[in-house]
Structures are given as C-alpha cells and as structure tokens.
Amino acid sequence: MKNLTKIKQNIRSEVRGKVMRVRIGAVAKLLAENIEENISDEIGELMGKLTTELSDEETQSETSGYAFDQIRKALIDEIKKHLK
C-alpha cells in the first residue's frame, strides 16, 4: 500500500496540473453562467413581490435599478452563506 502522504501529494499535483485546471475552469464557467441566469430569474420574481411602489414613470427606472441591486446583493450574500 502506498504512503498516504505520497497519494495526497499526487492528488494535489494532478489537481493543480494544466489538464485538470482546464477541466475545472470549464466546469466553473458553466456553473457560474447557470447561477447568474438563475439569480436574474429569481431577482425578477422577488422584485414582483415588492410591496413598495417604485414611483412614477419619471423615477421608475432609477428605483427599479436600485431595487434590483439591493435584492441581488442580499441574494448573493445568502448564497455565499450556504456555500461555506
């Protein structure tokens, strides 16, 4: 049986190697794209649940953008908590 330290060293070396880094990068990109799409969809749903009137047509764009940013930040903060 191989030395456990040597096996762990080989695993670290392989994971840090170019081939595996490319594979990990591709998977990370795919996950990030899916997460961004899902986050945008969920923010839209949450914005629809706001009870605050976003104001008149003149300021609606600004208040909508502000609401979007606030919900996005809160949602991402919560996602980070669950990823740890």
pLDDT of residue 1: 58
Locate tokens 């794209």: which residue? 33
Q: Specify the DSSP class assigned to residue 56.
A: -
pLDDT of residue 23: 95
d(CA 20, CA 27): 11
pLDDT of residue 42: 92
- State the angle between helix axes of 18-48 and 4-16 in degrees (0 to 180), rounded to the nearest 10: 70
**Chunked in runs of 10, what are the mean pLDDT values of the chain (84 residues)?**
86 93 94 90 89 74 88 92 84
The answer to whether the predicted template modeling score (pTM) of the entire model surpasses 0.85 is no
